[in-house]
Amino acid sequence: MDTLPTTTTVPALAPMRRPALRSHLAGFGITGLIGLAVLTFWLLAALFGPVLLPQGRSAAGGGAVFAPISAMHWLGTDYLGRDMLARVIDGARYTVGVAFVATLLASGIGTTLALLAAASGRWIDATLSRGLDTLTAIPSKMFALIMVAGFGSSVAMLVATAAVIYVPGAYRIARSLAVNINALDYVTVARTRGEGTLYVMLREILPNIIGPMLADLGLRFVYIVLLLAGLSFLGLGIQPPAADWGSLVRENIGALADGGASVIAPALAIASLTIAVNLVIDNLPGRAARERGAR
């Protein structure tokens, strides 16, 4: 539980983002900045939240069950009387970590394969496309069930399963975009210049499909959060006592009738994270600049 992928990947991302943030911060619109703030908040919560919380608070059960919001429990308590704030912040590591890493993997692999398929010959394209079509034919929930049944449920396992399930979708979208770009004159010019496949893939095609692919990434993130929540609901996802936000909603579903904070808080957390991711992607400064045609 301590060696989560979260702790390794998020710091790796952070230095990449920071310089871009500083110079482009002005390029985000108001909504983009709000999204960015929420996203940063959850990333920080996932990273440092557990350290900042008073020790023992997370595990401290035995209080009042489904207690309302109070000075002691900012978000009330859950069905075992545990502090909800601590549970949500702990859950952030799983949701942000697993879902985020799986999304990056799915979109990254899908886009790379799609670029390869579009930029190289007919045979590579046909092989990749038919291969990934086969994968699409397997119902995703069934596939996840089989994987979990076969290899047991672990964080790495969940990341791999979610990534494999969503690669074909990302591949399809990226390929259809890339094939259109590939037919444009500037790619032909690059080819007549004698450029290699890698140059065509990365310099000519990728920058022109990155916008829609990022929008797709935002959507895919939402799907993966839902898939993980679904698996948790079946008891196949993150195993108790650890819980991602999806399982928190499921665990505390009993408080729904009373409108308790313990079920609303993780639901709001999922909503705010997915909306924030999409707000940030829709407001990336590069896109608006490209539409204006100036830098």
| 123 is a site residue for other proteins (CB under 8 A) | no
Indicate the residue among 2 and 291 with the shorter CB distance to other proteins: 291
Indicate the residue among 55 and 192 with the shorter CB distance to other proteins: 192
Q: Minimum Å distance from CB 198 to other proteins?
A: 13
Of 167-175, 227-235, 250-258, 285-293, the window that binds other proteins (rule: CB under 8 A) is: 285-293
Q: Minimum Å distance from CB 295 to other proteins?
A: 6
| 188 is a site residue for other proteins (CB under 8 A) | yes
| 202 is a site residue for other proteins (CB under 8 A) | no
Q: Minimum Å distance from CB 290 to other proteins?
A: 6
Q: Minimum Å distance from CB 197 to other proteins?
A: 11
| 70 is a site residue for other proteins (CB under 8 A) | no
**Those residues with Cβ within 8 angstroms of residue 278's Cβ, 6 or more apart along the chain or in another chain:** 35, 215, 218, 219, 222
What is the binding site for other proteins (CB under 8 A)? 184-186, 188-195, 203-204, 207-208, 289-295
